Amino acid sequence: MRCPFCGNEDTQVKDSRPTEDNTATRRRRQCPTCKGRFTTFERIQLRELSVVKSNGQRVPFERDKMLRSMEIALRKRPVAPERIDQIVTAIVRRLESLGETEIPSSVIGEMVMETLSGLDQVAYVRFASVYRNFGEKKDFEEFIGGLADRDD
């Protein structure tokens, strides 16, 4: 593992332990050159996933990109960071269990929306506004109107 501070290729593992939900291994590492300490996480990857974007472009799936987008939607909401990580892990497992290596971005977006819908309505609207590309006030009104109809 390359040191993020000095770039040295040879780092030492000082401590390893499973995460709370046992979905990853947390490793504390130290660089023998600069003595910098950092943490890495090792996760099981069942298959190599690619995302097929709406324009047909294929890009490697990035778990961290999904995590960041959910963290942005859930910013200042009462959801613990550990819970967000668990949710992202669950979505990744669902994607891997589809049996496909190429996943349309729309499938990923809908899974995230479905999850946020049950978790936090504000985060759901935030994510939807970006995912569905709301451009005007009426887009929000129509979407929120649909939420109100669903709750009745």
Mean pLDDT by 10 residues, the chain (152 residues): 92 90 86 95 78 94 94 95 91 90 94 94 90 82 74 52
Structural contact between residues 112 and 69, judged by C-beta atoms closer than 8 angstroms: yes
pLDDT of residue 148: 63
Residue whose C-alpha is closest to residue 70's, from 47, 54, 57, 86:
86
Angle of helix 121-131 relative to helix 137-151, nearest 10 degrees? 140
Distance CA 128, CA 113 (A): 7
Sheet with strand 58-60: strands edge to edge: 58-60, 50-52, 102-104
pLDDT of residue 31: 96
